[in-house]
Amino acid sequence: MDSPKASAARKALGFIKDGMVVGLGSGSTAALFIEMLGGKKLDVACVATSHDARAIAVRAGLCLAELDQVKGIDVAVDGADLVDPSRNLIKGMGGALAREKVVDYLAKKFVCVVDESKMKPDFRGIVPVEVIPFAASPVAREIAGEFGAKVSVRCGCGKCGPIVTDNGNWIIDAGFGKVANPGRLESGLQCIPGVVANGIFTRNRPVVVVGGKDRAKVLE
């Protein structure tokens, strides 16, 4: 029997056809999808959104490409930390948000794979913000002062000090109460000098595949 994350990943396989360029998301649900995609032996080229996704894809025998080797992304399959009723997302608890945003927003179809625990009635919680280390202090002050968030620089496990992303940056975790307009907050955070990307995804509205025990439903 599939776990909820595995049933979402398995359902997402149905969106992938021979000849496609596939964006590979990061996190445990996307990892299950990558392993299953490898098992399908389809003729696809894959663009990974993190070192971790790339390593899983290599082990799964998938053919990898960089963004300058493909004309675009046909389908991106990626996880999320929160999905609201309008299918706005928070992503980035795995620290891969910047490359995820590039690939997920480029995709002609963005498929978001989650278990039911990620479906929330309100848009609220921790929004990861990737910053260049040079600007971490003023960015944190501005997010707290102008946007009213509780902020902290994310620190590592098995490492002293800030975690460093695949792009050599730091992450500020910004805690928000209920957000009425996630799209406006996404744009506002992005305007702060030194911000590389933020974990609010509102632009390329995804098809959301919600996994339950041995079954998954598709919201679009």
| 2: contact with ligand 5RP by CB under 6 A | no
Which position among 16, 96, 192, 197 is part of the footprint of ligand 5RP (CB under 6 A)? 96
The two tokens of residue 64 are 């990898």
CB of 136 to ligand 5RP, least distance (A): 18
Separation between Cα atoms, residue 135 and residue 64, nearest integer Å: 33
| 73: contact with ligand 5RP by CB under 6 A | no
The footprint of ligand 5RP on residues 15-34 (CB under 6 A) is 25-30
| 95: contact with ligand 5RP by CB under 6 A | yes
* Residue 100 annotated to the active site: yes
- Of the candidates 100, 130, 142, 186, the residue annotated as catalytic is 100
| 81: contact with ligand 5RP by CB under 6 A | yes
Which position among 20, 80, 103, 216 is part of the footprint of ligand 5RP (CB under 6 A)? 80
**CA 47 from centroid of its chain's CA atoms:** 14
Range 12-19, long-range pairs (CB < 8 A, 24+ positions) = 12/77, 12/111, 12/113, 12/209, 13/37, 13/40, 15/75, 15/77, 15/109, 15/111, 15/207, 16/40, 16/42, 16/44, 16/75, 16/77, 17/42, 18/42, 18/43, 18/44, 19/43, 19/44
Nearer to ligand 5RP, 96 or 200 (CB): 96
User: What residues line the site for ligand 5RP (CB under 6 A)?
Assistant: 25-30, 78-81, 91-97, 100
Active site residues: 100
